[in-house]
Structure 1
Amino acid sequence: MDTAFKDNLDAYITKLQRIAIQLNGLRSARPFRARREGGALAMKSARLFLAYCALVSLVRRNIEPICNPFCVGLVVVPAEWQLNDVQEAAKIIFKDEKVRVCLHPASKSRRGWEIDPAEHLTSGRLIVFVTEGSTIHEDFELAATVRDRLHLCDPRHLRALGRLRGCGVLSDDQVAVIAEQPSERMEAIFRIGQPVERAAMRLLKEGKQRPQSTEAKRLDVSKGFGQASAWAMELKKDLQDWRDGKLAWSDVDKGFLLHGPPGTGKTRFASALAAECEMHLEATSISKWQSSKDGHLGDMLKAMYRSFASAKENAPCLLFLDEFDSIGDRTKFDSRHADYSIQVVNALLECLDGVEGREGVVVVGACNHPNRIDPALIRSGRLEKHVYFPLPNAEARAEILAFYLPSLAEHPSLKEIAARLPGKSGADLERLSRDARRTARRERRGVTIDDLREEIEPLPVLNEGYQLHIAIHEAGHALIAHALRVGRAERVEVFDNAQNFATDIDAHGITVIEHPRLPFRTKREMMNLIAMHLAGAAAEEVFYKDRSTMASGSSQSDFAMATELAVEMITKYGFGTSPYYLPGSVNPSNASELWRDRRLRAEVDGILRTEYARAKDMLNGLQQTLVKFAVELAKHKRLQGDQLEKLWPGATALDQTVARKC
């Protein structure tokens, strides 16, 4: 801001004050005195100068009410700026005035508000600076006579700062990118005597290197991701109706939680979703907030408020919060850090509640362990819709490979390769694509489909002996599911890796059972489910007098699911030796904690042993049916519908009876 401009501005403010006094009879209000601090402030601090200029503009906009001897002004400061810088500028502007300046706390602590409005409201004129996005004490809200937002980094002020510091002239694009930067970067951008253009060009280059939302459109979110795909299409339609004025914003779901295994591509999905819905993407994480500056509570909260404020400014916007489970649960915090962590959760609750009033902002959290999140964050009204995000199916895997290898997107073999990669996550597919590109790069040519094939370890072809072993295992699951009425077996398959390949899960065989939707389950029904999960291994032991590794080895294995059910029976439903239930007493996702609980371990062990023995006894009595079922399965590789109906115990005798009656 040059001297002539500053003189004219001060004179204009003084003139307006005098007019306001004459019109309103505010004889007790003394006009603010004009001063010439602009040049000196610019040399002292870039941040202080910009805060000073923004405050002068705010005073000019609100000259009449600020002249009132009983004015209470609420001034909202962008989350990227420190309140201390604005306070220092205010002290300079109101140096000779009876104006009290107050910094509003970032959030309400566990002990309550760390500010007493009564102490400040006794003053005649009061200016309260509050960070954008934070909750304001209700007493200040009631007393406020002026509400305004501080417009920092005005293009005129940035250009004036560049001239006063000898940093040169800025173009419109350079001004725009500098205006987006947080306050702590201003000193590095406006170095005295150094061309500001150099820093601005670097910032522009960084912005161009960021992944653009148009790229994310290559990933089709409408299919291949189960519930997440269906939800994405619903959101897209609702947003379009909102844009067309057919739907009120209050009727749009504004909070979602994506949860599922690690590496499934939740971040990439969110980016593609923002592009599909034509929304700005604001992506951050709890750890990014934590790493802001020194990681002190104030620094983290400011980073949090900055993300929400940026989402609001760029609406319609999808605010993506990764690693959402790292926020924790207030009931489980370590006592040493409880106060810090509780205030972080409380502040996030305030931000999420505020989203309802921030039209055009959709908040999407992503995590691996939803049970570790404070229940208040994921209740109705906040991240209320919970969507399971699975490993991608064959169609989605092809889309992901096409995204990372665009030159092969139309190759007819790409879908075939993707279909033969069950169990691979989005991160796995990215690594395969990266390795294929590296091979081509070393040979100084474009990537080919053979480069991708070479990175995939070929599956061993299974001989008839292995196929029969797998068939025995799957037959055990199917027969026990049918006998105990756990559900309806839709299909049973074995994969030889020659003609038949797994496409849904990384397994040698699969039994797909459609479970009925029940209002509740009895203890016996849960026992039956456990017996069904253990029946594959039991069938192997009945036929081979031995069992293989097919029933265990991963978090989705037969034994893992049976164990999880048994733990739930004891800790959640009171089906142990004692019908107790104490919420939060056991963390089911913490394996080591469960292992240390000897009583729980003993009860779970008892359930698993009992149901394994029951499944084995039942299959011992069905040995002939078991063998017949397995032989047919090994022969045809896939059984479903009428093929299964003919193999259930008693089916042959029933058919003969019906024939005789006919």
Structure 2
Amino acid sequence: MLLAGVIATLALFFVPSGSSGGSAEQVGYSQLKTDIAANQVRSVAIGPDGNISGTLTNGTAFTSSYPPGIADPQFAQLLDTHNVAVTTQPAQSSILATLLNFLPLIVVVGLFLWMGRSARRQMARLGGIGRAKGKVFDTERPATTFADVAGYDGPKQEVTEVVDFLRNPERYRRAGAVGPKGLLMVGPPGTGKTLLARAVAGEAGVPFISVTGSSFVEMFVGVGAARVRDLFADARKRAPSIVFIDEIDAIGHKRGGQLVSNDERDQTLNQMLAEMDGFDPATGVVVIGATNRPEVLDPALLRPGRFDRQVVIPLPTQRERLAILAVHSKGKLLDDDVDLTVVARGTPGFSGADLANLINESAIFAVRRGRDVLDALDFAEARDRILLGHRDSSNALLPEEKHAVAVHESGHALVAALSEHGDPVAKVTILPAGQALGVTEQLPVDERHLYSAGYLHDSLAIRMGGRAAELVVFGAVSTGAADDLAGATALATRMVREFGMSAAVGPVGFGAERPTFLGGEQVTGRTYAEATQRLIDREVTRLLREAEHRAVALLTGHRVALDDLTELLLDRETIDGMDVDMVLDQVTRRQP
């Protein structure tokens, strides 16, 4: 379009001066006089420069010109004799004529000036592409403080020491201590790594520069390295300062591990390594990184002198969950029946983000009931909504299906209640939610860090309890135990392959590599022979069969309690652990 405009503008210089630009017919002066004499001309307009234009009697427009330097008095008489309408064109002012003559040149010059300014703007944008996109917190800091980060006293102390070193470097220097240059926070998603960084920005008395790892990588090679240089140059000017890089795995991937190399990412990482502890290392600058994937980071990035400290921020413990719930419950009205200790005990495996979502879902359930006060039922339903999914009342079970689910869940609950090492039963329900037709929930009294062989064997029996109940009552099994079998098989495999709990395999552990915080198992090659694999498979099958036989034996010996609990479930649809204990006690008292 631009080239077409230039060509059209330049074409103005080559339009003949006498051209009208229309479709008028050119007629010679002698022919014009002949047409006038033949009464074929209707009107003419005579310009001061001798140009003649007009219209024939048939409506055709024409143009002609008066011969320069020749006086022809007969022409005016001829026009008057044949009644031709005559008009004269006014002469244009000299200034306007001059401007019109220079108009094409003015247009072309203006066009080239516009093109030059546009090119300069584009070059300016390209020149700024290598600038870092970090957000600086200096005078206006976030309102988040360490008081807003509930629990995690150890990680907060680690981070606080780094900030304190920047504030009081002399105190550490007198003791001969060298301050850390980098601190890497790792942990599952939602545990509060970024929240802790915001607290550092809110409480640190030094400039805080925040940037994400993905902002360094662009399609142009060298841009990432340029942004790293610009980021650290800005941090040095503000030293002492803190640079926070969220999701640092975006630029810190191991080099040489990819089938196809990424020069841009490698150059960015190399520049990061040089800035943190290279030939000209940054002084007075501490780098705080956060990632969910420490296993993919380059070893050169993790060595002392770069990231001196690695702080693991795991899923919160029960005590920390209670503190997190207390923080997120501020400003909300809680009913007297809400015990946050019970809520914390019933949320093992929840991250800080999950707990915040639990509080919000509870508030939504309260609003749905037309209340602004949150009660225990709101928390219970919110927890089920998060763990199991939406409860759809339209997904009703057939009567025989409902009975089968009640038998299945009663089997789980009874085996759990009768097992020595089993966790207490908290709730049993046969209301479908999400993909689950029924659920038996167990809540540990205390959080465990080590699991004994007895506890794991009881866990296998509890998982097989639903299938065992179907065998005892119906004499056949159904597809309802699919998830139970998958979980039991995974647990038995770890008992044999990793925990050394098989006499046939022996005290050998074929464990996987360090687990990832994002879940899932890493794909690794098998480090043992095919015969060992067959032995592991046989031992896994043996453990599962023994667990099933044990569950069947327990339920057969307590068949009356199984039937009573099934009837109670069919009647009330949801019961708690006290109901399970009550059924067992009643059956025991009835027996002689």
Structure with max Cα Rg:
2
TM-score (norm 1): 0.44
TM-score (norm 2): 0.48
